[in-house]
Each structure stands twice: as C-alpha cells, then as structure tokens.
Amino acid sequence: MFNSTDIVLINPGNRRQVFQDLGDDVAGIEPPFVVALMASYLRSIGYSAAIIDANAENIAPNEVAERVADRRPLLAAVIVYGSQPSASTQNMTNAGLICSAIRLVSDTRIALGGLHPSALPERTLTEEEADFVIAGEGFVALDHLLRVLQGRNNEVSTIPGLWYRDGNTIKHTPPPPLISDLDSLPMAAWDLLPMHLYRAHNWHCFDNIEQRSTYGAIYTSLGCPYNCVFCCINAPFGKPGIRFRSPQRVVEEIDLLVTTYGIRNLKIVDELFVLHEPHYMGIVDLLIERGYGLNIWAYARVDTVKPGNLARMKQAGINWLALGIESANPGVRDYAAKRMRVQDVKQVVLTIQAAGIRVIGNYIFGLPDDTLATMRETLDMAMELNCEFANFYSAMAYPGSRLYDLARENGWRLPASWHGYSQHAYECLPLPAKHVSAAEVLRFRDDAFHDYFANPAYLCMIEEKLGRQVREHIERISSGRLKRRILGD
C-alpha cells in the first residue's frame, strides 16, 4: 500500500542569487522538463508523486521544507539541472539549503540527483544533508530506492547508480545502462507544474515583448556526441553520445502543450537540436502540418546548419537559432574543439538570417589560450556579425567538464560557493586564461556586453527589424552593470 505521496521531486533555484537584478523580469523561468519526466515515469509504474518548483515559485528553502513535511513522503528528491547544462552547478547552493531545511523539520529521506550530483557524487554526499546521491539518469534508481523505502526490498546495495553511507563509509553501485528507447518514457507530468508561472527569455519574444507566457521547454534528445572542453552535459550519461525521441512522440507532446496549456513560446532544450536531419526535419514537417504558429528557439552548430532546410524550419515556427561560435581565434577555438573558419561563421549567420530566422551568437572569453588580444578579436567578430542577440560568457570549470579536471590538476582557483559558477552572480569567479587573470576575463566579459548592446549599429538594426519598443527594452536592461566581488564592487 503506497503513501498518499511516495515522492516529492524538487526543482531548486534562487533567481536573485544567480542572476542579481536580471532575475526579476529579464531572465526566463523555464519548466523543469527532466523533473516532470521523472515524476511521470514514477507515476506510470504505480507511485504517487508531487513536484515543488522552488525556482518558479521563488520560495525560500524553509517553505519548501514545510511543504515536504506536510506531505510526509517516503523520499524527497532534489533534482539539480538548469536552463542549460552549465546552470546545474549554480543551483547547488540553493539545493543544499533545501536539503538542510528538510532535515530540520522532517525525517523524510533525502536524495540529490541531476547533472552536478552526477559529476561530483561523492563530494555531494559528503557535503550536503542528503541520504543518497543518484548518479546518472535516475529513473531506474528512483524506482528501486522507493521499493527499499516501502520495505519491498531491503538492499540499497543493489540499486544501480546510487551513492549512500554504510556507517562511516561512502559506497556506490555501478551506473545503470542508459534508456535506449526514449519513446518508452511517458510524457512529462505537466499537470504537476505551475504552468502559469513560466516565462520565455526576453529576447525570445522580441516579436511581442509583452507576451512571454505561456512557455514550454522540452527535450527531443538526450546527450551530445561532441566533447567540448567547457561543457558538462554528458556527466549524467558517462560519455559522449546522443539518443533521440521519435519525431512523432515529440510532436505528440507539443500537441499536449498547445491544446491543454496554450503554449505559444517553446524552447527545445537539446544541447544540439540541429544535428541529425531525419530527426529534426521530421519534427519540422509534423509541426508544419499542424500550423500552430509557435515561437520556437533551439541550438545548432555552425557546421550542422543546412541552408536548404532553413525555409521549412522557419515555417514550422523556429524563429531563433542559438549558435555556439565561442571564439574568433582559430587557436583558441580549436582548443575548445570547435574547428571552423571565421568566414564560415559569417556565411552561416547571414544564410540563417536570410531565411527569416534570428541568431543568438554565443561567445566565450577566457578559454585557456585566450589573451586580451584574442578576446578582442572575438568581440570584434561579434560586433561585425551583429546577431539579433548575443550571450557573452566567461570560461568556467563546470564540474563534469574537462576544464574542471584541468583546473583541479593545475590548482587553478575555483569559486568558493556553487552559485559562484553563475555567469551573472555577484560571486562569479571565472577561470584565468594562461595570459589573463580571472578578474581581467570577467571585466572584459562585462565590458563586452555593454559595448555590444550599446553599439549604434546594433540598436539601429534592432529598431529597424523589431521596432522602437524592443530597442528601448534593450537600452533599459543594458543600462545597469552587474556587481562583481572580484572587481571590488
């Protein structure tokens, strides 16, 4: 006989801590697809589940703990992902506070899972007030752990992908095999989420800046076949690789989001959506048949974009493509495993824009071989490309990435707190490059942001394409500067 709630799954987050003032009305609030997928999987095999989205509701750890205590579940599982792979670690500060708060008011067993706990399972179990860490995808491990807590199985040592304490000793089991058929998973438990609270990123809605809700976010695949030095996406999966949901299954879920929840703005969360042509174009063709008029954004690589597909992608509602351009300098870029010529980047950006799709250029400053001169090259290229939006990042040693391993091996200084891994946090501490200090990297990044968004060529382009209101919005959000501890603010 099951409890009234067998498991409460928790999505942690503190928007002001991670984004400073940008968390109030600029940053997006994304539905936690993985958390909702775990809940639906567990419901499909007979468990009762609830979700607390602390990030969307913007509630403090003690309130999360009180809600958990009221439900008295067998297990509280704090699942630490984020709106992109790099966002998992920055949420660990809040995740740890939630675990501690639950421990104070409840005897409910606590598990931590997600990308960061998968990257650093032993450290996570050592440092946080949790009974278990689930490394890997987590679906099977949560099922088996609930069986133990219900008394149907007494051996945690048989649970795949579990880290646990045996007295004063930390033990763990081998990871389970990855789920090969993603279509065997049910649709996400959207009914357990506060769907009215989610909002798209500001740039995603430049066509209608006042209509950032409703907002949905889905995966159409899991993993990535590449192994970029700065990326941690494959930490839960053990190695590079990618598995796809079928186009039919993906669009079936989009059907649900549109018809039940009125979703208009949609993010495809995949680290690389524009990769396998039969997959992404299968989704595109099914969306064209439906004619939903969605506003979609997705990730692509410069070397995976096929010009002949762009018109149909636009027709399906893909209005934005995010490109990982990273650096203008070939030596810096090749270190990051991104081998492409600047001229190729320029041509692909122009081709995408010619199809009516807008481009977000993603750039990184402070990769190991960067200098002030090469970072200036990158900023100059960004200004020349003049994409409709740009993200400027400092290189970070995210746990689960090769940069993290290099940082540990070389004794490079890392952030003192997990939210110090946030690009926008006051405590942000990027990596130093070989010839540039961490403070110089961060100052350059922050100056680059303001140089780009105050550039008259950019602002005139935006006003011409999107109107005066969007230009004024950009001028407003770029008028203030982030405060940074390392810069003495």
What CATH number does the domain containing 26 carry? 3.40.50.280
Q: What is the pLDDT of residue 1?
A: 35
Stretch 354-371: mean pLDDT: 95
Quick check: 2 pLDDT over 50? no
- In the chain, % of residues over pLDDT 70: 94
- Based on the domain organization, do 313 and 262 belong to the same domain? yes
Residue that the structure tokens 């907002």 belong to? 215
- Give tens-digit pLDDT for 280-303: 999 999 999 999 999 999 999 999
In which band, very low, low, confident or very high, does the pLDDT at 85 lie, cut at 50, 70 and 90? low
Q: Identify whether 486 is part of a domain.
A: no
- Give tens-digit pLDDT for 236-270: 888 899 999 999 999 999 999 999 999 999 999 99
Q: What is the pLDDT of residue 234?
A: 86
- Based on the domain organization, do 148 and 207 belong to the same domain? no
Give the span between the Cα atoms of 182 and 185, in whole angstroms. Answer: 6
User: What's the predicted TM-score (pTM) here?
Assistant: 0.94
Give the span between the Cα atoms of 421 and 438, in whole angstroms. Answer: 13
Q: Identify whether 166 is part of a domain.
A: yes
Q: What is the pLDDT of residue 343?
A: 76
Out of 153, 172, 191, a domain closes at 172
Stretch 424-451: mean pLDDT: 94
- Based on the domain organization, do 308 and 252 belong to the same domain? yes
- Based on the domain organization, do 93 and 196 belong to the same domain? no
Q: Which helix (H) or strand (E) holds 242?
A: strand 241-244
- Based on the domain organization, do 93 and 237 belong to the same domain? no
Q: Identify whether 2 is part of a domain.
A: no
Distances (CA, A) of 327 to 25, 308, 364, 380, 406: 29, 26, 6, 10, 20
Stretch 205-218: mean pLDDT: 92
Quick check: 478 pLDDT over 70? yes
Out of 114, 149, 172, a domain closes at 172
- Give tens-digit pLDDT for 408-424: 999 999 999 999 999 98
Burial class (CB in 10 A: 0-12, 13-18, 19+), 450: middle
Q: What is the pLDDT of residue 235?
A: 87
Q: Identify whether 483 is part of a domain.
A: no
Q: Which helix (H) or strand (E) holds 116?
A: helix 115-119
Report helix, strand or coil for 401: coil
Q: Identify whether 488 is part of a domain.
A: no
Report helix, strand or coil for 465: helix
CA 273 to chain centroid, in Å, comes to 14
- Based on the domain organization, do 138 and 277 belong to the same domain? no
Quick check: 340 pLDDT over 80? no
- Based on the domain organization, do 322 and 468 belong to the same domain? yes
Residues near 22 by Cβ (< 8 Å), separated by ≥ 6? 424, 477, 482
Q: Identify whether 373 is part of a domain.
A: yes
Q: Identify whether 111 is part of a domain.
A: yes
Beta bridge partners of 169: 166
- Based on the domain organization, do 167 and 54 belong to the same domain? yes
Quick check: 21 pLDDT over 60? no
- Based on the domain organization, do 354 and 372 belong to the same domain? yes
In which band, very low, low, confident or very high, does the pLDDT at 84 lie, cut at 50, 70 and 90? low
Quick check: 228 pLDDT over 90? no
Quick check: 339 pLDDT over 70? no
Of 184, 255, 259, 181, nearest to 218 by C-alpha is 255
Quick check: 429 pLDDT over 50? yes
Quick check: 431 pLDDT over 80? yes
- Based on the domain organization, do 86 and 220 belong to the same domain? no
- Based on the domain organization, do 416 and 299 belong to the same domain? yes
Out of 172, 201, 226, a domain closes at 172
Q: Identify whether 208 is part of a domain.
A: yes
Stretch 458-478: mean pLDDT: 95
Q: The domain containing residue 18 runs over which residues? A: 7-172
Write the CATH number for 452.
3.80.30.20
- Give tens-digit pLDDT for 104-131: 999 999 999 999 999 999 999 999 999 9
Q: What is the pLDDT of residue 274?
A: 97
Stretch 87-93: mean pLDDT: 89
Q: What is the pLDDT of residue 206?
A: 94
How many domains does the structure of the chain reveal?
2
Beta bridge partners of 172: 163
- Based on the domain organization, do 168 and 249 belong to the same domain? no
- Give tens-digit pLDDT for 270-283: 989 999 999 999 99
| Average pLDDT score over the chain | 92
